[in-house]
Structure 1
Amino acid sequence: MSIMNNALSGALASQMALAATSQNLANLQTKGYTRQMALLTAVGPQTGNNRSAGNGVAVNDLLRISDDYKNQQMWRANSGVGRHTQTQPYLTQLERVMGDDAASLSAGVDKFFEAMNAVAGVDPTSTPLRQQVLTAAGTMAQRFNNLNNVFNAQMQSLRGQRNAIVSTANVTIDNIAALNRQIVIAAATGTNHSSLTDARDQAIDALAAQLDLEVSDQPDGSRSVSLKTGQALVIGGVPGQLKISGGSVQTFSLAFAGSTFDLDPVAMGGQLGGLGAYERDIIQPLQQGVSDMAEQIADKVNTTLAAGFKMDGTAGGPMFVFTPGGSASMLTIVAGYQTADLAFSSDGTPGDSKNLQALIDIKNQPINVTSLGMVLIGDADTQLTGKLAVDSQQNRSALKTSQTIRDQAVDDWKSTSGVNQDEEAINLVEFQNMYQANMKVMSVANALFDATLAMMN
């Protein structure tokens, strides 16, 4: 009986639609859940039967409401956030250290030259004043060493952080490949794989925070994932593996299907690219700039002292020892150096201070500093700190912009794929009414059938 069949198909269809609605409402607060919808299609009459209105309704599929363009926008935005988020804590730390008067190089250099000015203004032979010069020299050297230790600690932290990111990324890459395999099997057997696809999308989103990605859909339901530079990370069910090697200088590569590709640590993008850019463009030039300052100040002071005479009339010798290569003791005072060793005299006369004046004039001499060029010794640290502040502010602005873009992308995704409580509530009522109406039709059809049987009896 066509009325009964139509009503039965409508009741079953409304039940499936209600099941999809209930699943959506159950996952109202589930992060990354993509809403589903029953695709209802009218079933037409059989061929050649012009008197049939149709054969009810069919649920052709359970649709997963997703927009690939919005997915891509969300993943790209996450890469930008990851890139700038990782570097800001390092920049902020350096700003605080280099801008602190109690630790800044500028204050240490100023106090060293102020101590020599104090000697020149009173008595070049005064042991207490000479001791102040020696103390100020040691303090200045320690400030260089302390700042250099901060650089070394950050470099060590960078290396450890990148090792951790690579390990996490490899786990995520394996997970995406495994989900691809499960989705292909589910699609081939006609099983609903919406939850598997949601899990894969969330894994891709997490990976996008660590690396710049390109994602493309394949006909079998799998997704291929590659770096922006073109190297494949996942194709179907086959995962690649990121590798990191080296100690103080880390190198990156990608192994995929028996081939190995070298990777640029900056071009990888995301968190890894941000850390690579920070190392290459900020901390390495800054550390080298501080090293340049220490080396050239030590060289100028030692050279000037060598041209003078000590308290006992003998030729002066070096006061500073500079050790290159990022050593923890980059700048130190010569072991056993005494106040009497300060060669302030230019002719051997104890009261002469011409060589002391030459030492004081060093502060106004230019030095060549990496990333700055030729600058006065007294201005070098100020300019390095100022450049760091500019870099930090630019990163903050870029992070704020990236976060805004990410938030907008997430909102756009939610507008299409997210569960809307009001919309689902309306669907709940409508499909409930549909079910009840079809049950009423079945009741009417049953009454008509009973009436027909009664007439025949």
Structure 2
Amino acid sequence: MSILNNALSGALASQLALSSSSQNIANLQTKGYTRQAALLSAVAPAAGSNQAGNGVRVTSLLRFSDNYKTQQLWRAASDLGAYSQTQPYLTQLETVMGNDDASLSGGIDKFFAALNAVAGVDPTSTPLRQQVVTAAGLLAQRFNSLNNVYNSQLQSVRQQRTAIVDSANTAIAAIATLNGRIANANATGSNASSLIDQRDQAIDSLASQMGLEVSDQPDGTRNVSLKTGQALVLGSVAGKLAVTGSADQAFSLSFAGTTFDLDVTRAGGQLGGLSAYEKDVLLPMQNNVAEMARQIAEKVNNQLAAGKTMDNNPGKPLFVYTPGSTSNMLQVASGFQTADLAFSGDGTPGDTANLQKLADIKNQTLTLTGLGSVLLSDADTQLVGKLAVDSQQNKGALDTFQTMREQAEADWQSTSGVNQDEEAVNLVEYQNMYQANMKVMSVANALFDATLAMMS
């Protein structure tokens, strides 16, 4: 009977091994699936030195997983997320600010070219004076259009961060739920591989949104926290992220009845990348452009006030600067006429003393945060240059982390992914094992029949 029992255990073991291979092949294209294999071990004889053994058994179903490679995958997802979300914004600003038809430097050049044209021909010419007023309006329009781009990006960044928080909360809740189911499955001896795959996919998705620290627990659960230390998931207990405000967003994390304020610029991933872009690039750029508009308006208006019109009246302000305006930051003063241009220094028609000083404003300096004192004519060029440097640095980091993510995926796939050729070989081997054990069972049955025949 030991021959029959051995063969039966071998047949059952090969069936289970075939089942694991068929499961692997069925999930050949399933994203995040971790391959499995039956671990076989010989069953020792019960007693006596003359017994070969009691067959084979499946000790466990192995899950081919390398924790180091999985952690690398998540870290790469976080780094990639931080730079992938900001590049479209940087590219848009580069395109807008570098376009000759929309750039500030082009508008500034045309405004001062109109002033020089008046000085070089006839300061009393109404058409030439009108060109100055028109150029001033077009310059103001360029400032306003660029400011609208900044405001649009700010709104988009803030909406995107709110969406990321909502998506992250869904992933956090899923991880906690799966942790509980995995712990229960392990406690009852059930196969939790598919649950672990689902949980790891949820962690991978969350890792792209923010930097994570993940630690394994003895019961098979995984604790997840932000890289700044705040817990997101402990066992089956989930935290919840929140964002309040629309213009000035504030972020917090609630966990086990306690709420913590979060500095999302340090959060990593998509959330941290967008926040760092807003803080370090977008807002400073918008503030610098607003400062350019304010200082140009002040310089031009002050110089016009120092001159005289053709009617020997003091000059009126040409520009109106409105701080904080979303669409009309800089405008030509309402009702401003060509006769209000105070080009004369002494009120004499045809005198260009004040006009020369107006034209010379282009060679004066502006003070901008991060750039210091710069020539008005060079201010926009330097802003665009700084933006180009930021964009190139982001592109370089994006390419680097894209390569690292691809390498991490390849490393993970080499250990945990399904190899079709390998599974095909396993199918043949386990099929042969099953057929060989069935042959042994046939031999055992023949021996048993022969023994019965002898006793009859």
**TM-score category, normalised to shorter length:** over 0.9
1:167-316 matched pairs, under 5 angstroms: 167-316=166-315
Q: How many angstroms apart in 2 are the aligned matches of 1:214 and 1:311?
A: 73
Q: CA deviation at 1:186?
A: 1.1
Deviations 1:286-344 (A, max 9, x none): 00110111011111001100100012101112111111125311101111000000000
Q: How many angstroms apart in 2 are the aligned matches of 1:349 and 1:152?
A: 45
Q: How many angstroms apart in 2 are the aligned matches of 1:447 and 1:321?
A: 107
Match of 1:97 in 2: 96
2:24 is aligned with 1:3 = no
Q: How many angstroms apart in 2 are the aligned matches of 1:371 and 1:107?
A: 22
1:314-325 matched pairs, under 5 angstroms: 314-325=313-324
1:20-419 matched pairs, under 5 angstroms: 20-46=20-46, 48-419=47-418
Alignment root-mean-square deviation, CA: 0.7
Letter in 1 for 2:23: Q
Letter in 1 for 2:115: M
Q: How many angstroms apart in 1 are the aligned matches of 2:78 and 2:169?
A: 17
Q: How many angstroms apart in 1 are the aligned matches of 2:264 and 2:343?
A: 51
Deviations 1:111-164 (A, max 9, x none): 000000000000111000000000000000000000000000000111111111
Match of 1:452 in 2: 451
Letter in 2 for 1:191: S
Q: How many angstroms apart in 1 are the aligned matches of 2:8 and 2:141?
A: 87
Q: How many angstroms apart in 1 are the aligned matches of 2:377 and 2:99?
A: 17
Q: How many angstroms apart in 2 are the aligned matches of 1:350 and 1:180?
A: 86
Q: How many angstroms apart in 1 are the aligned matches of 2:310 and 2:177?
A: 79
Deviations 1:22-59 (A, max 9, x none): 0000011111100011011111011x411111110011
Residue 31 of structure 2 aligns to a residue whose secondary structure is coil
Residue 41 of structure 1 aligns to a residue whose secondary structure is strand
Residue 40 of structure 1 aligns to a residue whose secondary structure is strand
Q: How many angstroms apart in 2 are the aligned matches of 1:354 and 1:53?
A: 115
Whether the 8 Å contact between 1:226 and 1:232 is mirrored in structure 2 is yes
Whether the 8 Å contact between 1:148 and 1:326 is mirrored in structure 2 is no
Give the share of equivalent positions with the same residue, in percent.
69
389-398 or 10-19: which moved more? 389-398
Residue 298 of structure 1 aligns to a residue whose secondary structure is helix
Q: How many angstroms apart in 2 are the aligned matches of 1:303 and 1:18?
A: 88
Letter in 2 for 1:312: D
Letter in 2 for 1:270: G
Residue 264 of structure 2 aligns to a residue whose secondary structure is coil
| Change in CA separation of 1:326 and 1:56 when aligned onto 2, cut-off 3 Å | farther
Q: CA deviation at 1:399?
A: 0.6
Letter in 2 for 1:317: K
Q: CA deviation at 1:213?
A: 0.4
TM-score, normalised by the number of residues in structure 1: 0.99
Letter in 2 for 1:297: I
Q: How many angstroms apart in 2 are the aligned matches of 1:240 and 1:158?
A: 24
Q: How many angstroms apart in 1 are the aligned matches of 2:264 and 2:112?
A: 42
Q: How many angstroms apart in 2 are the aligned matches of 1:289 and 1:257?
A: 43
Q: How many angstroms apart in 2 are the aligned matches of 1:133 and 1:383?
A: 25
Q: CA deviation at 1:265?
A: 1.4
Q: How many angstroms apart in 2 are the aligned matches of 1:15 and 1:185?
A: 27
Q: CA deviation at 1:371?
A: 1.9
Match of 2:423 in 1: 424
Residue 323 of structure 2 aligns to a residue whose secondary structure is coil
Letter in 2 for 1:244: V
TM-score, normalised by the number of residues in structure 2: 0.99
Residue 86 of structure 2 aligns to a residue whose secondary structure is helix
Q: How many angstroms apart in 2 are the aligned matches of 1:63 and 1:243?
A: 40
Deviations 1:217-266 (A, max 9, x none): 11111110000001000011110000111221111110000111111111
Q: How many angstroms apart in 1 are the aligned matches of 2:264 and 2:171?
A: 19
Q: How many angstroms apart in 2 are the aligned matches of 1:449 and 1:39?
A: 32
Match of 2:15 in 1: 15
Letter in 1 for 2:86: T
Structure 2, gaps ≥5 residues long = none
Q: How many angstroms apart in 1 are the aligned matches of 2:42 and 2:232?
A: 43
Q: How many angstroms apart in 2 are the aligned matches of 1:452 and 1:386?
A: 96
Letter in 2 for 1:93: Q
List 4+ stretches of structure 1 deviating above 6 A. none
Q: How many angstroms apart in 1 are the aligned matches of 2:411 and 2:275?
A: 31
Whether the 8 Å contact between 1:15 and 1:435 is mirrored in structure 2 is yes
Whether the 8 Å contact between 1:152 and 1:326 is mirrored in structure 2 is no
Q: How many angstroms apart in 2 are the aligned matches of 1:285 and 1:373?
A: 13
Q: How many angstroms apart in 2 are the aligned matches of 1:35 and 1:327?
A: 55
Q: How many angstroms apart in 2 are the aligned matches of 1:367 and 1:110?
A: 16
Q: CA deviation at 1:456?
A: 1.8
Q: How many angstroms apart in 2 are the aligned matches of 1:327 and 1:65?
A: 56
Whether the 8 Å contact between 1:117 and 1:360 is mirrored in structure 2 is yes
Residue 52 of structure 1 aligns to a residue whose secondary structure is coil
Structure 1, gaps ≥5 residues long = none
Q: CA deviation at 1:449?
A: 1.2
Q: CA deviation at 1:434?
A: 0.4
